[in-house]
Amino acid sequence: MHVLLFDDPAIRPHLLPFTFTRPVAALRCGILTLAEKWQHRLGVASVGYLTQPYLQAKFPAGDVSGPALIINGAVCPDDLLTRQVQALQPGQALYSDDLLVAACVADASLVAELIQDGLPETRQVAEPVTVISRPWHLFLRNGAEIRRDFALLTHGRTSEPVNDPHTIVYGAENIFIEPGVKIRAAILNAEDGPIYLGKNSQVHEGAIIKGPLALCEGSHINAGAKMRGDNTVGPHSKVGGEVGNSILLGYANKGHDGYLGNSVIGEWCNLGADTNTSNLKNNYASVKVWSHVAGRFVDTGQTFCGLMMGDHSKCGINTMFNTGTVVGVGANIFGAGFPRTFIPSFSWGGAAGFETFKLPKVAEVAERVMARRALPYDKVEQGIMQVVFDETAKDRIWEKANA
C-alpha cells in the first residue's frame, strides 16, 4: 500500500521559513527526517508527499491511484504508534485529540478533499504523540529523537570499531559507527546519550563529542570542535566551534569557531568565522520569535532559543545574532553590530539596514555552492526559489518604501 505524508494546513505555515522549501515531513529531527522515520518503521521502499504545488516536482506524491495510507507529516513515529497505523483498515482514521494522525483511504486521488473536509474519527492514539508544530520543537525534541532513531537504525547490527589509538571513548556500547568513518584523536562521550557516526563521516583531531549526537553521511566535525549534546549534523555538512542542542538540516557549513545553541540551520547555509548566536536573554525572560503566520513576534515559552535560518542563507565573519533571531530563505547578512531579529527572505545587509538580494544574484551563489557538492541548481530549484521570492515580498518592507 502506498504511503503518503501530508502537510497539515494547520501546522505547515507555523514551520516557516523551513517549510518554504520542503514539506513538513522532510524536516530532520534526530538522525532521520520525519519521512525517513516512517519509511524505516513501515518497511516501505519509498513514501510520497502531499505538499504545496510548487514543491511537488522536487517532492513527488508518486502513485495516487488506489488505496493508500496517509500520515500527518508532522508526527514522529514510535513502535506503538506504528502498530496502530498499520492496523488501520480502509475508511478508518486515527486521531490524537483533534489532530488527524493517519488514515487508510480507498482512493488516494481524493486525499486532498478528504483532509480538507475531515475524516470521521474511528480511534484515538494509545498514548501522546510527538508533533513538530513549531520550529523550536525541532531542537527541543532532538535528543529524544536521536535516541529513538539510534535504536531503530542499529538494532541487530554491529558497529565498526574505533581503530584510532589516540581517540578516547566513554560509553562504547552507545556508539555506532557506519562503514567509511574516520576518527582521529577525538573524545567520544556517550555516557549520557548515543553517538551515531554516519557513513563516510569524519571526526577530526581534538574534537570533543558528547551524546546524544548524530553525524550524518559525509559530514565532518572539524578539529577542536566542542559538541555539547543533543546535536544533529545533517548530511554533507561541516561543523566546528561550540555547538549545543542544534540541528543543521544538511549541506550546511558552520566550519569555524563561534557558538551555536538551541538553533536550526537550513540547507545550503554558511555561517562565517566567529559567528555567534545568543540563546538566552540577559533577563532570563521567555524568548519571542517572528511568526510568518501571525506577522508579529510570538512567545515560544522557552528560556533558551537561538537562531532559525532558512535555506540558502549566509552570514559573514563575526556576525552576532540576538536571541530568537529568524532568518528567511536566501538572505545574505554581514557587517558590524546585531542585525534585527527578523530578517526577511532575500535580504542583503545587516545592522546598518537591508536591501533586496535580487533573485539572479541569489541564483549565481546557489549554483556555485551546490556545484561544490556536485548537485545542480536546476529548473526545479529555481522554480521553488521564485515562488518563495514572490510569496515573501510583503516581508521586505523597504521595497514598499522605495516603490
**pLDDT tens track for 144-189:** 999 999 999 999 999 999 999 999 999 999 999 999 999 999 999 9
d(CA 84, CA 72): 14
What is residue 114's predicted lDDT score, i.e. its pLDDT?
67
- The ranges of the chain annotated as CATH 2.160.10.10 are 134-263
CA-based nearest residue to 39, from 135, 152, 150? 152
- pLDDT computed for residue 402 by the predictor: 66
Contact 250, 264 (CB under 8 A): no
CATH class assigned to 2-133: alpha beta
pLDDT of residue 195: 98
Please write the tens of the pLDDT for every residue from 189-220.
999 999 999 999 999 999 999 999 999 999 99
CA distance 69 to 239: 38
pTM: 0.95
Pick the CATH number of 134-263 from 2.160.10.10, 3.90.1150.10, 2.170.120.12, 2.70.180.20: 2.160.10.10
Cα–Cα dist 175/213, whole Å: 10
Cβ atoms of 329 and 20 closer than 8 Å: yes
* pLDDT confidence of residue 367: 97
Measure the CA angle with vertex 52, ends 50 and 56; round to 5°: 65
Question: Which residues in the chain show pLDDT less than 50?
Answer: none
> What values do phi and psi take at 47, rounded to 5?
-130, 160
Spatial contact of 319 and 272, defined as CB atoms under 8 Å apart:
yes
- Per-residue pLDDT, 260: 98
pLDDT at 377 (0 to 100): 97
- Quote the pLDDT of residue 344: 98
CA dihedral 3, 76, 17, 230 (to 10 degrees): -140
Read off the amino acid at residue 118: G
The residue type found at 247 is I
